[in-house]
Chains A and B, each alone.
Chain A
Amino acid sequence: MVSVLNKENVWELLESIPDPEIPVISIVDLGIIRSVDISDQKTLVTITPTYSGCPAMFEIESQIKEVLSNAGIGNLELKTVLAPAWTTDWINAEAKKKLEEYGIAPPKPGIFSEDTLVACPFCKSENTSVTSVFGSTPCKALFYCNSCEQPFEHFKCH
């Protein structure tokens, strides 16, 4: 079957793929899809890893291949680039809101920026403390809210 999908269609399909660790946001929301190019019936999807050792990258790549080939794209190339390095600044405002509603305090701009002043995603109090800067996935830190006495995760600034 010859693909008749255009660039926008491919982006829409990619938006339907949830992040394997944080399914409330898509891999497009996360900012790891850098570009989609279609030429001579070949589809080139360029991605960048979040963390060098993130084990979810393998899963994400196989998801992309599965979703796009099910949509009829036979001639697909996945390319990984390292520069510019992935940053949480690429997570858009809407996705940050989704993270907060899911119970994960979203990242602020820049690395380390004010990340001790993280508001609790449940009660919005800023009276919180860091339990550990390393959490259940490479991209998250563990926090504790001193107001509502709930532990919560923070998507680290990166």
Chain B
Amino acid sequence: MNKQEALFDYLVRLGDTSLIAGQRLSEWCGHGPILEEDIALTNISLDLIGQARQFLTYAGEVEGRGRDEDALAYHRDVWEFKNVKLIEQPNGDFAQTILKQYFLSTFNCLLYGALSHSKDETLAAIAAKSLKEVLYHKRHSAEWLKRLGDGTAESKQRMEFALEELWTYTGELFEMTEVDKVLVEEGIACDLNELYMRWLNEVEEIFEEATLDMPKDVFMASGSRKGLHTEHLGFILAEMQFLPRAYPDAKW
């Protein structure tokens, strides 16, 4: 695998994770538990889709086959998507959405912090810009995580259920492949093993404040780096891609 192929795959991974996370969150539009949260979740969705556009546009340029952000977002099938399975999971209740967002945002803060020093200037610029946005995302979900975990009996029970559902998908965030090895050597990508220890420390701290127990060793799902997904991604794509596939010349 050469540097160009690795960078394309890496950018698609970042772009797809932001895109599918943003698409999922947009499902909350009009369904938030309170108006302010409806607005907050859709604002976060908007940031994520904006970030996805930057990553996918750049991925298309790196690939050099004339694919733009829309071609990559709307004209690939499930097995070509490289987003982590965590964010394609259904929104569930508010607790599940918050926990998922907390895991992702905490990861994104560490990742973009590291990538803002990437030797690839465009990747560094997108990361530095995105970092400012995901810091707000993390603060939002962290505050809710504490409030719900250390809240009423029901909110705590819902948070514990969310943790049972989602913890198994967190390992994938830190999986390294040949792509990572090639890019770490070039100074373009970062070592995800290092990020994992920092991520785990942050999660432990916030769980203590939220009076939640850290999960014990459990099975960690895998496969998204190779394009293997849960059944949910197909349904997301069916909805997200319908219009540009059915009406390829449609203009806004």
Contact status B40-A51, CB under 8 Å = no
The answer to the question of B240 belonging to the interface, with a C-beta cut-off of 8 Å to chain A, is no
Choose the segment among A5-13, A36-44, A69-77, A132-140 that binds chain B (4+ C-beta atoms closer than 8 Å).
Answer: A132-140
Contact status A133-B140, CB under 8 Å = yes
Contact status A132-B128, CB under 8 Å = no
Contact status A133-B40, CB under 8 Å = yes
The answer to the question of B43 belonging to the interface, with a C-beta cut-off of 8 Å to chain A, is yes
Contact status B49-A53, CB under 8 Å = yes
Contact status A53-B50, CB under 8 Å = yes
Give the dominant DSSP class at B's interface.
Answer: helix
Q: How many A residues, CB 8 Å from partner?
A: 25
The answer to the question of B114 belonging to the interface, with a C-beta cut-off of 8 Å to chain A, is no
A9 vs B160: C-alpha distance in the bound complex, in angstroms? Answer: 61
Mask for A80-107, Cβ within 8 A of B = 1, else 0?
0111111100000000000000000000
A133 vs B134: C-alpha distance in the bound complex, in angstroms? Answer: 13
CB distance from A39 to the nearest CB of B (A): 24
Q: How many A-B residue pairs have CB under 8 A?
A: 73
Q: Hey, which chain B residues are within 8 Å of A134, CB to CB?
A: 36, 39-40, 43-44, 136, 140
> For chain B, which range describes its interface: under 10, 10 to 19, 20 to 34, or 35 or more residues?
20 to 34
Mask for B30-61, Cβ within 8 A of A = 1, else 0?
00000011011001101111110110000000
Contact status B39-A132, CB under 8 Å = yes
Residue of B whose beta carbon sits closest to that of A141 = B136
Q: Hey, which chain A residues are within 8 Å of B140, CB to CB?
A: 133-134
Q: Which of A55, A81, A133, A158 is B139 in contact with, Cβ under 8 Å?
A: A133
Residue of A whose beta carbon sits closest to that of B36 = A132
Contact status B50-A52, CB under 8 Å = yes
Contact status B43-A52, CB under 8 Å = no
Q: Hey, which chain A residues are within 8 Å of B126, CB to CB?
A: 82
A116 vs B143: C-alpha distance in the bound complex, in angstroms? Answer: 14
Please provide the 6 A-B residue pairs with the shortest distance between their CB atoms, ordered closest to farther. Answer: A53-B50, A52-B50, A83-B125, A134-B40, A132-B36, A82-B125
Would you mind naming 16 contact pairs between A and B with Cβ atoms under 8 Å apart? A51-B47, A52-B50, A52-B133, A81-B125, A82-B54, A82-B125, A84-B128, A111-B135, A131-B36, A132-B37, A133-B136, A134-B44, A135-B43, A138-B47, A142-B36, A156-B136
Residues on A facing B (Cβ under 8 Å): 49, 51-55, 81-87, 111-112, 131-136, 138, 142, 156, 158
Given contacts A112-B139, A132-B39, A134-B140, 9 further A-B contacts (CB under 8 A): A52-B133, A53-B46, A82-B122, A83-B121, A111-B132, A132-B40, A133-B139, A138-B46, A142-B36
